[in-house]
Amino acid sequence: MATNQEPSSPRVNVRRLPARGHYDPAVIGAILDEALLVHMGFEAHGQVYVIPTLHVRVGDQLILHGSPASRMLKTLKEGVPCCATATLVDGIVLARSAFNHSMNYRSVVVLGVAREVVDRDEKYTALHALVEKTVVGRSDGCRMPSEEELRRTTVLTMSMTEASAKIRSGPPGDDEPDYALSHWAGVLPIRTEIGAPEPDPRLDPSIEIPAHVRRKTHRG
């Protein structure tokens, strides 16, 4: 991927408000790591689809998985061009004028072509990474996929060679005359919080909440 100042290709160059564009792999990767989902855009049978899906980033690769029956995965593994996007909303920006209301956000766009992972060990490693993204340490706290489950799962990997981030932060940007208006202006922060664990009704009550779950919920 390119440096912070240089997009890897014209296709991912941020044109609208270019000062918000970021091309640093560390910035792009951090957003994808924090995002719970990506939305995959692709064309199939003359229709355009945008489908949310779980993902994990491993180095400069974006990993997806799902059922072999998935239209999205069946289409993407044929090598059609696709687009992955992720957005984190950090705040509602209230300006003095309706025109200048906005959002604070961090977003990523990745363009490219996905490749099916067919090697058994590579596939297992990818699924291990997906489990670990949900909760660090979870792969040791659950049964990992059997050979049959591996066979029944499609895994795709997509290079992040063409990627960019767009970020807005800070207070509203009002027109200079509007700063004299007597309207409240500022930012309403938005934070995602994980709640208290809710045990499966069929869970053996003697099984305690494991440490990796407590760490994820900041409860010990």
Please tell me the CATH superfamily of domain 10-216, with its number: Electron Transport, Fmn-binding Protein; Chain A (2.30.110.10)
Instruction: Note the pLDDT of residue 4.
Output: 58
- How large is the average pLDDT for residues 57-82? 96
If one counts every other C-beta atom within 10 angstroms of the C-beta of residue 40, the result is 25
Mean pLDDT of the chain: 94
pLDDT tens for 180-205 read 999 999 999 999 999 999 999 999 99
Instruction: Classify residue 120 by burial, with Cβ atoms within 10 Å: 0-12, 13-18, 19+.
Output: exposed
Q: How far apart, in whole angstroms, are the C-alpha atoms of residue 173 and residue 219?
A: 39
How confident is residue 2, by pLDDT bands cut at 50, 70 and 90? very low
C-alpha closest to that of 49 among 32, 13, 74, 66 = 74
| 3-state class (DSSP) for residue 179 | helix
Q: How far apart, in whole angstroms, are the C-alpha atoms of residue 28 and residue 17?
A: 18
- How large is the average pLDDT for residues 19-25? 94
Question: What ranges do the domains of the chain cover?
Answer: 10-216
Higher pLDDT, 68 or 3: 68
Instruction: Note the pLDDT of residue 1.
Output: 41
pLDDT tens for 112-164 read 999 999 999 999 999 999 999 999 999 999 999 999 999 999 999 999 999 99
